[in-house]
Amino acid sequence: MSAVDGVPLLSIRDLEVSFTTDHGTTTAVRGASFDVLAGETVAVVGESGSGKSTTAAAVIGLLAQNGRVSGGSILFDGTDVTARGGGIARMRGRDIGMVPQDPMSNLNPVIRVGAQIVEALEDNGVARGDAAWRRAVELLQEAGLPDAERRAQQYPHEFSGGMRQRALIAMGLSCRPRLLIADEPTSALDVTVQRTILDRLEALTHELGTAVLLITHDLGLAADRAQRVVVMYQGEVVEAGPAEQLLRDPQHEYTRRLLAAAPSLASRRIQLARRTGGRPEYGEDLLAPSADADGEHAPAAAAPPIVEVEDLTKVFRLRGKGLFSRSTELTAVDAVTFAIPRGTTTAVVGESGSGKSTVARMVLDLLEPTSGSIRVDGVEIGARTRAEEVAFRRKVQPIFQDPYSSLDPLYTIYRTVEEPLRAHEVGTAAQRRARVLELMDAVALPAALLRRYPAELSGGQRQRVAIARALALEPELVVCDEAVSALDVIVQSQILHLLADLQHRLGLSYLFISHDLAVVRQIADQVCVMEQGRIVEQGTVDDVFDRPQQAYTRALLDAIPGRRLDLGPQAA
């Protein structure tokens, strides 16, 4: 049976997936039904826990050991792959390929990249020996890796994130499957790398006639790349249809929430609203607290700067690979100058390796500048007395990207939030407890969580705990280093609104480090664009987004998913 003339290549009907745990049986997917036609891209969208990745794992037969398909059917080209003897193991690789989410954990760190592709080719009987190696090099070339012959000899740690993802795409398409499952294939990548990877994936699958099942939490990305979208919520399909139809006329409340939360679409709505003088749809306000009631940014330049960075430079000395090799120098930050007016948000954006996180670490005084100066409230970092050092640590606090690794797994939530107060000997035990309860309320977390540990919280809850800890000492400046990039779009939107609300109520100033310009559009007042260690453009968020001067800035803006989508007259 061939999937032609509208006959589905993949047909999922009333799918139910259950997991056996110590507390009984949990149903992760309930009654899910949708089709994928040959050559079609279908996106399954939802937040963490919605069941989208579990559905994909069920299709390719890679559920965890305690998981099973407990109801319904999965038909691939007319064959029920869930039935005993359905042959999913034989189909895996040859008929159904997969590009997993995390390229580092899904590549063997001790085996060369080329050899891992050779293994996939040999296991599926596509090629062997020298022919398999030549084919592996060709696949890396097809995936867009330059100098593929040399790259095939390297190990995964010698690749950047984008290069590792391209290697996984090469592996997933190595046997020319008819269906490719791409599970969050670009979630950890910069927008420009993301666009390059998705363009390459789209070109290859179109050339091969491969159908794609794209798993993502970003409805904007899904609508930009797929013909049809399936929305999942709490294990169920709540809405499905053509991408443009879903964008223009969402029927389910959860779909509307995803539309409002997707940063790419929010950025697009703001852009359209600016052009027409209207307001963004779905109640999406401009989040920057300096915006007035009409959505126009009030001038913040008159406020005295809380941070002044002048000619900041950081040079790293790198050791040579050989025993007697000379060391080399890498200029990570090169003569960077900017200021943060008090009570506003300044965003520093750029690709990985642009130097933005190095700037953040120097502002936090976690890294010593090679030259230049940083002044916080007029006092230069590095030239402080002991008393000024203590005052600085109370005045400036960080919120890091990964809320799990930045929280001590052995501390309860109470101990985590209380720790800064304890370290700075603030108040009595009773006063510290009252302050902790106040902070939990400020970040909208119930006091019942105080006895739990970080592993018992969701990603969004952990990031709220990190924010509460950062606010414990009543800082004036908060440095957010990719503080929302690891979160689902709905949780991300909640955290952005929380940060804006706290800034408005407490008068906080933010240095916001991000590679996601769609997020920056919502939260920032001023924007500094970094490329290869230098600031190539800076100005107000509206000036930079509406009138970019540099080709690099335009490339970053063009890479935002959804910029080519027509949201219709409603969006204005």
Higher local confidence (pLDDT), 226 or 325: 226
pLDDT band of residue 55 (cuts 50, 70, 90) is very high
pLDDT of residue 290: 43
Of 115-129, 189-203, 297-311, which has the strongest mean pLDDT? 115-129
The residue among 210, 1, 246 whose CA lies nearest residue 95 is: 210
Three-state secondary structure readout of 145-212: CCCHHHHCCCCHHHCCHHHHHHHHHHHHCCCCCCEEEEECCCCCCCHHHHHHHHHHHHHHHHHHCCEE
pLDDT at 237 over 90: yes
pLDDT of residue 344: 92
Cα–Cα–Cα angle for 173, 175, 179, rounded to 5 degrees: 60
Average pLDDT, the chain: 84
DSSP character at residue 390: H
Q: What is the pLDDT of residues 493-542, one digit of tens each?
A: 888 888 888 898 889 999 999 888 888 888 899 999 999 899 999 999 98
Question: How many C-beta atoms lie closer than 10 Å to residue 417's C-beta?
Answer: 28
Return phi, psi of residue 146, to 5°: -70, 155
The residue among 264, 73, 260, 106 whose CA lies nearest residue 172 is: 106
Q: What is the pLDDT of residues 253-300, one digit of tens each?
A: 999 888 888 877 766 666 555 555 554 444 444 444 444 434 444 444
DSSP string spanning 103-117?
Answer: TTTTS-TTS-HHHHH
pLDDT at 209 over 90: no
Q: Fold match between 1-90+208-256 and 262-320+327-377+476-572?
A: yes
CA distance 73 to 35: 12
* Strand-pair partners of 480: 399, 512
Cα–Cα–Cα angle for 245, 246, 247, rounded to 5 degrees: 90
Higher local confidence (pLDDT), 114 or 1: 114
**Pairing verdict, β 41-45 and 8-21:** unpaired
Q: What is the pLDDT of residues 419-436, one digit of tens each?
A: 999 988 888 999 999 999
pLDDT band of residue 85 (cuts 50, 70, 90) is low
CA distance 295 to 398: 29
CA distance 538 to 317: 29
For 338, residues 6+ apart whose C-beta sits below 8 A from its C-beta are 309, 346, 348, 526, 528, 535, 538
CA distance 166 to 199: 11
- State in words which class domain 262-320+327-377+476-572 has: alpha beta
pLDDT of residue 302: 58
* Strand-pair partners of 34: 12
Higher local confidence (pLDDT), 86 or 298: 86
What are the residue ranges spanned by the domains of the chain? 1-90+208-256, 262-320+327-377+476-572
Residue 564 C-alpha from the chain's centroid: 20
pLDDT band of residue 190 (cuts 50, 70, 90) is confident
DSSP character at residue 444: T
CA distance 413 to 421: 14
CA distance 95 to 173: 10
CA distance 222 to 200: 16
pLDDT of residue 494: 84
pLDDT of residue 1: 39
**Does residue 529 contact residue 538 with C-beta atoms inside 8 Å?**
yes
pLDDT at 572 over 70: no
pLDDT of residue 299: 43
Specify the CATH architecture of the domain 1-90+208-256. Answer: 3-Layer(aba) Sandwich (3.40)
For the chain, give the percent of residues with pLDDT over 90.
37
Strands (E), 319-437: 328-341, 345-349, 371-376, 379-380, 396-399
CA distance 131 to 126: 9
CA distance 495 to 489: 10
CA torsion sign for 54, 60, 65, 69 is positive
CA distance 323 to 303: 54
What is the arithmetic mean of pLDDT over 380-396? 83
For 43, residues 6+ apart whose C-beta sits below 8 A from its C-beta are 214, 215, 216, 221, 222, 223, 225, 226, 228, 229, 230, 243
pLDDT of residue 295: 40
pLDDT at 23 over 80: no
pLDDT band of residue 162 (cuts 50, 70, 90) is confident
pLDDT of residue 244: 86
CA distance 60 to 78: 15
Determine the 3-state secondary structure of 404 from DSSP: coil
Cα–Cα–Cα angle for 181, 559, 289, rounded to 5 degrees: 115
For 74, residues 6+ apart whose C-beta sits below 8 A from its C-beta are 10, 11, 12, 15, 58, 59, 80, 81, 82
